[in-house]
Structure 1
């Protein structure tokens, strides 16, 4: 644990006290919105699930507590964001007073969010079973709920993750750790995506992905706003800079909120239901509120920032006016959270048709057997990795444009590698390949090999870190670290030094195959959309980390010779080949319940499909291996050429003193031989 004398505990207590009233106010607003709106469709919801009324404590308490919990999660995310990126660390890389205060606020909000998520377990059991809250309160009933109800299990994971983040924030004061705890805090929102209509509807893959984006957008929007209010309230420094950085976050968040909300509504609503159903009217109201927030919030913040900056660095900030403006915005956003939760409690209009078994399990209907026409003739945009491919390509092109604008060059080969990697990632996840990956083991293994073995090779050869370091501007002395400083800190951090050790990189790359498929996790991951998404993200990150170490052109914390990298690569290949052979000879069908439930008529033998997948895993490493070997050979050649040029420059500087000394040594040896 890192400590700092300049961050007294009283700073954290002062900020915590000043924010309690605000959080209580926003919680009251969210609860006041969600309780009456949820009551509008309570009887209809109870009739649909066929359970008795569990009592007002559950029907009113569950949506109110969920609204409060999501608000607390947002406060935790926003305060952690402020501590990590809106205030500069001290010279010893510990948080300053403002950062320490915000991290303490985030810690308390995380702990309160964990308590709320835990209490939602018995409330969920009461809601599902039709029993009163007190009948569901004993801990043994919690275990029943967690084991039998997916929503209750999701609340369990949210509580655990939030509690880990809250405790960790109280034990560390390092700026590096504040970034990690921000990531863990944001991760606690993922289980919430499995607790609404999205996880149980047709097209639930698109609905769940859009809900994840929606939750993150809302958390960063309102959480960052509350953090700015707290910072201004207690007289924090660099108010204009904090507002400017938050305005960028808010702009991205409001766009994410709008687009994900539209996608979510299209999945569950027919346009005719917008004004003829309770669910549709709530969607319309929420859209109008978000539009007002976008117009009001962004325009007003820009005026406030300009007013502060035009007054000069030493001029006093009109905190009272600024607080009134952003407090109004935060109250509206709190009401929007209540509106969102009430949407989750309101049954959407009945579908116009009865979904098939494939649609119920996968969220879509496959067009036919796996083939070129069905793969590239069917498209389903992946809102996570497909969108990530588009964003990564856009950021890379922006970096190229920045270099060209100031007259710098960039190797065309690196651009070609990066563009190819992004395009292949998009095609794999957003074409029919992404659909077949969820329903057929052989198709899943084809996609797995592309995402983990081919795409990371191309991305690692694109040199994104080097491009970013050349294109991004420095934050400037005395300012909080910017993207360039964050990237430098990431590359040089102890975590990066550990992960980029060739042995560690190769072990995590290979061990992931065995743990997921033979460790008893595959059926759970394959049968859940979030599990499938986790596998894809894991394959991509672990593959990129491995190939960044082996053939990456970016700077890394550790430097090894091409010979050493070649030895690590060759030593890992047998384990990968053995994984494919083991799959081909494995006598038991992996995730048999999931694949037999889908029941694809063109795959009568699941074990044969698994053997084909094993053959794909065994043979798929050949093409990436050729690229990797060529890249290593080229890097080896370049290393030798650089060494030769370095020797030539040294010889020019000292008139070839090293060669003369070597020749003199040989002459002396010859004279000694003659004397003997």
Structure 2
């Protein structure tokens, strides 16, 4: 899609005025956060590197590691918050080009992205020096730097983050349409993930729970802190849309506060026991962070109850700026505390060494995967388990809203959607999800559920149709809201490309062969982040494939019934052939990882792989049956609707078509009778 340009001088966004009154607040926050981070690190000390057999880094390297991470975090939240404002908090022009406020926010996001890029590059140097016990000046030796970056995960993560920030910086300079702004916003959030998946939480036991909770924590913090900074800057610019932005951000802030509180609690309980929280430096810093979060909750409540109301009802922005300014400073102090917390070593509780399974996958397994363990030995997947529950709750809320208005909604669609959510929850959080990282056969069962069963059920749920009916239109002269955003997504060029039959088929089928036969799966087995990405790929690609085939929701491309059935049958041989290849293979996929894991009940890796191939071959028939049944039902209902349409037309025209048809038959019969009578007389 080409980047849209203003069509005329009247549509061109007005140049942004420098928010001079907000810059001192931002500068004061940076200074405060830096002071808090350095001060706390000085008080709590650093990790003991002697246990690793290396000499600790220089003092300046330790402080530089904290400061560069802090500056990168601050730049990231400003960038993400500005893109949030430009995308969802202020309206675009009717042509789809961002308005003046959105344009100013885009330019602010671009500047912050460049700062994020520079700080992330600096973090590459300092994190490499810190991990290797070197001085930062030694990183200017390319040989030393490349060796450390290739050997340590944290510098690699910062390098990926820098690359993402660089793309966002260029994108903010080029993008002017709302769709591209939304895409940049979503892409910028991914810049938070690499460091989260390789930091403190990614090491040690229960690193799956710790990492997933940290992802929620970081994303919620970025949206909350960055969004508030953007709203305050909008208020200083005296924007006419400050009331709309404040009202919308209020809901976002409440959700982010709840997410931060719950995810922070999970992350803390994973690392520190409640009994020893007052006895460790790490625990004391956690108490400080909890206190700051509680204070922010109080300020947020005041914002919603007083400041937002004053802006919306009276146009008075003074309370918003005053409370928002204090809240921003507390947030920056919390960012400094978080930077110090990332530098503080976890308390060493207990003397038992973690087992191999706990080191590799984050937890121990209680024995072979019996049917009872697969069904009842649950371990919550914080990302996909939370996603499944949230999707179910939101769907039920939409159904409730329709019924309160007196609008019907088919029970079958509700059952299908809830069954799809339940299948995601069971696949990722039950014993299936627990054993999937450790055994290929169980992983293949999870793969089949996430890529075939869950997407089919979700497509039959018609969530988009439900949302479009539950959300009222914004109105002709009102700024676009959630209903308009959803319509834009469904009608976007990206959705049209992904739902093309050939594209969807190649992505759906080709990913099987690419993942397992290219060595990518062998690499992914070693990283929790790769497991999260694989599940996301399975679910999204499966939904993109089945949505235009059997989905209730309107799709950008909809084939006739026979065409949809044909596409489904074309995919069947590829799935069957994939399963046959696995069953007849003599090379084990992921052999090194499974050998290192060394599960005593998996004595033959090739046999386990053959079992997984058999599951892929056998379970591949289930989607065909489900799709065929759904298509037959939809076909029959379409015929019934057409028959009812004809009947209604006949009733409306008093059966004019039928009367004309009967008159034609009588005329033909009369002509035939005259011809026969004339023939008999001639004879």
Give the TM-score normalised by structure 2. 0.93
Match for residue 156 of structure 1 among 143, 156, 159: 159
Per-residue Cα deviation, 1:309-339 (whole angstroms, up to 9, x for no partner): 332xxx5x344x4322211101111111111
The answer on whether the counterparts of 2:77 and 2:225 sit within 8 Å (CA) in structure 1 is: yes
1:350 aligns with 2:354: no
Aligned to 2:15: 11
Aligned to 1:455: 454
Change (3 A) 1:19 1:514: farther
1:69 aligns with 2:72: yes
1:335 aligns with 2:338: no
Aligned to 1:440: 439
Per-residue Cα deviation, 1:494-523 (whole angstroms, up to 9, x for no partner): 111111222222221111111111222112
The answer on whether the counterparts of 2:549 and 2:558 sit within 8 Å (CA) in structure 1 is: no
Corresponding residue SS for 1:461: helix
Aligned to 2:170: 167
Partners of 1:204 and 1:447 lie apart in 2 by 20
Match for residue 116 of structure 1 among 112, 119, 140: 119
The answer on whether the counterparts of 1:72 and 1:109 sit within 8 Å (CA) in structure 2 is: yes
- Once the two structures are TM-superposed, the CA of residue 457 in structure 1 deviates from its matched residue by 1.0
Change (3 A) 1:375 1:132: same
Aligned to 1:189: 192
- Once the two structures are TM-superposed, the CA of residue 669 in structure 1 deviates from its matched residue by 14
1:386 aligns with 2:371: no
Aligned to 2:4: 2
Corresponding residue SS for 2:468: helix
- Note the residue ranges of structure 2 that are not aligned, 5 or more in a row: 677-683
Per-residue Cα deviation, 1:352-402 (whole angstroms, up to 9, x for no partner): 122111111111111111111212231111100000011011001101111
The answer on whether the counterparts of 2:61 and 2:129 sit within 8 Å (CA) in structure 1 is: yes
- Once the two structures are TM-superposed, the CA of residue 18 in structure 1 deviates from its matched residue by 6.0
Quick check: 531-540 or 423-432, which moved more?
A: 423-432
Quick check: 34-43 or 373-382, which moved more?
A: 34-43
- Once the two structures are TM-superposed, the CA of residue 477 in structure 1 deviates from its matched residue by 4.0
Change (3 A) 1:12 1:659: farther
Partners of 2:15 and 2:60 lie apart in 1 by 38
The answer on whether the counterparts of 1:151 and 1:194 sit within 8 Å (CA) in structure 2 is: no
Change (3 A) 1:10 1:645: closer
Quick check: 581-590 or 177-186, which moved more?
A: 581-590
1:169-248 matches, within 5 Å, as 169-248=172-251
The answer on whether the counterparts of 2:500 and 2:557 sit within 8 Å (CA) in structure 1 is: yes
Partners of 1:246 and 1:252 lie apart in 2 by 10
- Once the two structures are TM-superposed, the CA of residue 302 in structure 1 deviates from its matched residue by 2.4
Aligned to 2:81: 78
Aligned to 2:508: 509
Change (3 A) 1:20 1:143: farther
The answer on whether the counterparts of 2:50 and 2:56 sit within 8 Å (CA) in structure 1 is: no
Partners of 1:662 and 1:502 lie apart in 2 by 45
Match for residue 106 of structure 1 among 83, 103, 109: 109
Change (3 A) 1:21 1:140: farther
Partners of 1:7 and 1:102 lie apart in 2 by 17
Match for residue 274 of structure 1 among 273, 277, 300: 277
- Note the residue ranges of structure 1 that are not aligned, 5 or more in a row: none
- Once the two structures are TM-superposed, the CA of residue 7 in structure 1 deviates from its matched residue by 6.8
- Once the two structures are TM-superposed, the CA of residue 478 in structure 1 deviates from its matched residue by 3.9
Partners of 1:359 and 1:53 lie apart in 2 by 27
Per-residue Cα deviation, 1:444-469 (whole angstroms, up to 9, x for no partner): 00111011111111111111111111
Corresponding residue SS for 2:196: helix
Change (3 A) 1:450 1:663: farther
Aligned to 2:564: 565
The answer on whether the counterparts of 1:42 and 1:59 sit within 8 Å (CA) in structure 2 is: no
Partners of 2:363 and 2:236 lie apart in 1 by 50
The answer on whether the counterparts of 2:132 and 2:148 sit within 8 Å (CA) in structure 1 is: no
Change (3 A) 1:279 1:645: same
Partners of 1:563 and 1:670 lie apart in 2 by 43
Aligned to 2:585: 586
Partners of 2:594 and 2:81 lie apart in 1 by 41
Change (3 A) 1:21 1:2: farther
- Once the two structures are TM-superposed, the CA of residue 432 in structure 1 deviates from its matched residue by 1.4
- Once the two structures are TM-superposed, the CA of residue 443 in structure 1 deviates from its matched residue by 0.5
Aligned to 2:679: none
The answer on whether the counterparts of 1:420 and 1:458 sit within 8 Å (CA) in structure 2 is: yes
Corresponding residue SS for 1:465: helix
- Once the two structures are TM-superposed, the CA of residue 667 in structure 1 deviates from its matched residue by 8.1
Partners of 2:365 and 2:47 lie apart in 1 by 33
Partners of 2:334 and 2:579 lie apart in 1 by 50
Instruction: Say which one has the larger Rg.
Output: 2
Partners of 2:13 and 2:639 lie apart in 1 by 56
Match for residue 38 of structure 2 among 35, 38, 45: 35
1:388-427 matches, within 5 Å, as 388-427=387-426
- Once the two structures are TM-superposed, the CA of residue 139 in structure 1 deviates from its matched residue by 4.1
The answer on whether the counterparts of 1:390 and 1:422 sit within 8 Å (CA) in structure 2 is: yes
- Once the two structures are TM-superposed, the CA of residue 224 in structure 1 deviates from its matched residue by 0.2
- Once the two structures are TM-superposed, the CA of residue 272 in structure 1 deviates from its matched residue by 2.2
The answer on whether the counterparts of 2:78 and 2:229 sit within 8 Å (CA) in structure 1 is: yes
Per-residue Cα deviation, 1:214-247 (whole angstroms, up to 9, x for no partner): 1001100100011001111112122122111111
Corresponding residue SS for 1:11: coil
Aligned to 2:645: 646
Per-residue Cα deviation, 1:397-438 (whole angstroms, up to 9, x for no partner): 101111111111111111111111111211111111111000
Aligned to 2:611: 612
Per-residue Cα deviation, 1:180-217 (whole angstroms, up to 9, x for no partner): 11000001111021232111120000000000001001
Partners of 2:13 and 2:554 lie apart in 1 by 39
Partners of 2:502 and 2:667 lie apart in 1 by 46
Partners of 1:44 and 1:8 lie apart in 2 by 54
Change (3 A) 1:493 1:671: farther
Corresponding residue SS for 2:139: coil
- Once the two structures are TM-superposed, the CA of residue 50 in structure 1 deviates from its matched residue by 4.0
Aligned to 1:371: 370
Change (3 A) 1:663 1:140: farther
Partners of 1:282 and 1:624 lie apart in 2 by 51
The answer on whether the counterparts of 1:7 and 1:97 sit within 8 Å (CA) in structure 2 is: no
Partners of 2:324 and 2:638 lie apart in 1 by 56
Change (3 A) 1:602 1:451: same
The answer on whether the counterparts of 2:569 and 2:624 sit within 8 Å (CA) in structure 1 is: no
